[in-house]
Structure 1
């Protein structure tokens, strides 16, 4: 056999292999594509020509237009879920038509006369902007959105049918209006403002049962601020149909933030408020002799024993508290030592311990004699010699002379 003949046979074999593979791939591709025969009709079954059909599936799309007989052919992947959106100047569908597990078959897509709803929402002061509008047909949502600055909401094209138009806004009672659409329907919808009572109770979940927390501050979004009574309770008027953000605070307690959904009747809510984690270290004595042991006790924010708390002396670990929150350790060196307790990232305020070099007694108390007071005797008594004064002596002389003269006259 010649060398040239061998090469020729190899070329032929290779060509046949390539042809076989190509044929297999082509056959596979043809098997993966199916044709949907789409018929667009009115509710009465009449064909709708010139309807634009957009077919979409997971990784592809195709657009076709129906002929005068209302038919169009769409090639789609076999077994795919295909969504058919159909548009027409005179007819509309509220929902797309969905083909599941696509195969070679015909599908009929009904269309309905076009209609439209233009709703204007007002309250006692005029148009209400930003109100939520939901339009339903037999319970299914057909259109939704918010009113514009003029209080209007336009559904766009919808099927001519019966609808329920629900309007809601914070602070207003919900309004549901039935609308029959025969063309373009313009509807005025009135909203009424309102409020309900919200009962709030603030409790501390640490206790069983939870205990009330009085004098807590409750900040209510767009409403204001209230405080809980000693019973932990308070009441406040709040707008209907509102999601209210509540922030509860109190000194030495952790802040609690929550959202309460208010509808159109009185409501109540329990709010929890827990104390801020804290540690408190106390020592049996603040003065010890160096070399002696120090006993300390550590409690948490509720005054309960703080087990497994680390006791630090001058920043270094000295001991760990037991189940009763107690620990003892020795202080060897004289001087002042700072003690702290630490657990779960929480640290107590410092306590200072004085370690003395030896037994020391307090210096004796010195008493200061009270200053004596002197009496000014000169001021207390009259000045001069005791006895009669000069005038009294002179009077006595005259009296004696008169007595002597009287005796002489008697003797004569």
Structure 2
């Protein structure tokens, strides 16, 4: 009986613990599922008058809902708790330039969205000849430089804004090749106007320099769109480009890598600098033209700027034999007689070819000649086998002795 009672007690305890855990976790499950709350939205004018028949759109990260206001300017919407909701209003006579935003909490039960009289601006843009100008960008900005409406003129040169709040605005008209037009609108009614656009160019000066050499580059070809110019002795070229444009500058010159640059040109002249660098090259020089076989010659390798070229591979008859040091120098061994071809290589860049002749250390062959005395010429003794220099000297001394005795 005691055992059964103990088991019942354990079971009861487990049941209570499980119930407590479930009860404690229930609110968290409900929150993770996403609670909603009903918010009363009131739409009214700046004077506090209710606006009926206004379509209210409530939007948040994961959804949206919409409804129309009743005669009292109110509407009920269900939105998630803890999210930021944007409330926008659509009405024939009233509007907002930007949605009303509110983070909805558990205690948020109402919001008031204020609207203003709606107006529209219509513009027709023509050039100086009276022709319609298409694709003119029209931007309407408020006093805080916020863009409240924007678009482009159509084929008739016309653009009409959406509804915007009545008030004061700056309207800008921009197009590549035309001067910017700006006008101020301060009105509570719709506006329709004609705008004249004027074509214009600006001078783009391109200075071409080699930063590594620290010098201007003359004779370079500068291309900007469909126009071409050449740099003068100061490295400058000038071209005319449309105002308010993005110019692509391309520069080429023999012996240099091509370069491109982008330049934003406004309504005044502008100068840009483009850097050109010499194409990679290697130049090799040898300290000796003839080298005794088994000895080495020192070679020097320089780059396109006549600076020492370090870590360059030196080739002898196509095979790597040495690498240049920090001074661009290396010792190249000569292992056989005859002409040897020496080059330097770094990546795909190869130097000029230098020929080094390997010669034998024993000389070029046996020298022949004659020996002169006061009495005349005697044959040479250099060619007989086994008859060396010492034997020749002995023979000469003997002849001299015999000649002296004969005179006695």
Range of TM-score over shorter length: 0.7 to 0.9
SS of equivalent to 2:86: strand
Q: Does the Cα contact within 8 Å between 2:224 and 2:239 map onto a contact in 1?
A: no
* In 2: Cα distance, 1:32 partner to 1:12 partner: 29
The structure number with the bigger radius of gyration is 1
Corresponding residue pairs, total: 359
Which residue pairs with 2:122 in the alignment? 118
Offset at residue 228 of structure 1 (A): 0.7
Alpha-carbon RMSD across the aligned residues, in angstroms, is 3.2
Alignment of 1:282-361 (within 5 A): 282-343=285-346, 346-355=349-358
1:134 partnered with 2:124:
no
Q: Does the Cα contact within 8 Å between 2:222 and 2:237 map onto a contact in 1?
A: no
* In 2: Cα distance, 1:26 partner to 1:73 partner: 26
Offset at residue 57 of structure 1 (A): 1.9
Q: Does the Cα contact within 8 Å between 2:228 and 2:239 map onto a contact in 1?
A: no
CA displacement, residues 109-140 of structure 1 (integer Å, 9 cap, x when unaligned): 11223322221111124111122221112232
14-23 vs 305-314, which moves further: 14-23
SS of equivalent to 2:48: coil
* In 2: Cα distance, 1:202 partner to 1:31 partner: 64
Q: Does the Cα contact within 8 Å between 1:93 and 1:159 map onto a contact in 2?
A: yes
Cα distance, 1:29–1:278 mapped onto 2, change above 3 Å: closer
Q: Choose the corresponding residue for 2:113, options 97, 109, 112.
A: 109
Which residue pairs with 1:279 in the alignment? 282
Offset at residue 229 of structure 1 (A): 0.7
Alignment of 1:5-154 (within 5 A): 16=19, 20=23, 23-25=26-28, 28=31, 32-100=35-103, 102=105, 103-125=107-129, 126-138=131-143, 139-154=145-160
Which residue pairs with 2:382 in the alignment? none
1:225 partnered with 2:212:
no
Gaps of 5+ in 1: 363-412
SS of equivalent to 2:27: helix
Normalised by the size of structure 1, how large is the TM-score? 0.76
Q: Does the Cα contact within 8 Å between 1:305 and 1:325 map onto a contact in 2?
A: yes
* In 2: Cα distance, 1:294 partner to 1:16 partner: 95
Normalised by the size of structure 2, how large is the TM-score? 0.77
